[in-house]
Amino acid sequence: MTGWLIRRLFHVTLVMAIMSVVIYALIGLMPGDPIDLMIAADPKMTPADAVRLRGLYGLDLPLTTRYWNWLTALFSGDLGYSRLYGQPVGAVLLPALAATLKLLGLAFILSLLIALPIGIIAGLRPQGVLDYGVNFVAFAGVSVPQFWLALLLIILFAVQLQWLPAGGPPPAGAGLQITLIHYILPVLCITIASVGDHTRFIRASVIDVMRQDYIRTAIAKGAGPGRIILRHTLRNAMLPVVTVIALDFGFLFSGALITETMFAWPGMGKLIFDSIMGNDFNLALVALLLATFVTLAGNLLADIAYALLDPRIRYK
Residues forming contacts to another protein in the complex (CB under 8 A) are 2-3, 6-7, 212-214, 216-224, 227, 231-232, 235-236, 239, 309-312, 314, 316
Residue 251 near residue 299, CB atoms below 8 Å: no
Spatial distance between the Cα atoms of 312 and 43, rounded to a whole number of angstroms: 68
Q: How far is the CB of 151 from another protein (least distance, A)?
A: 43
Q: How far is the CB of 128 from another protein (least distance, A)?
A: 12
Closer CB to another protein, 42 or 213, in the complex = 213
Three-state SS for 315?
Answer: coil
Rounded CA separation 305/247 (Å): 12
Nearest Cα residue to 19 out of 80, 87, 71, 89: 71
> How far is Cα 284 from Cα 27, in angstroms, rounded to an integer?
9
Query: Nearest approach, Cβ of 126 to another protein (angstroms)?
Result: 10
Between CA 43 and CA 171 the distance in angstroms is 37
Of residues 10 and 139, the one with the C-beta less far from another protein: 10
Task: Give the residue with the Cβ less far from another protein, 52 or 231.
Answer: 231
Minimum gap (Å) between residue 232 Cβ and another protein: 6
- 237-273 as b/e, with b when 16 or more CB fall inside 10 Å? bbbbbbbebbebbbebbebbbbbbbbbebbbbbbbbb
CA separation for the pair 262, 152 (Å, rounded): 11
What's the min distance (Å) between Cβ of 219 and another protein? Answer: 5
**Integer Cα distance of 124 and 202 in angstroms:** 11
242 residue type, one letter: V
Nearer to another protein, 78 or 310 (CB): 310
Tell me whether residue 67 or residue 306 sits nearer to another protein (CB atom).
306
Least Å from the CB of residue 7 to another protein: 8
Of the pair 142, 223, the CB lying nearest another protein is at 223
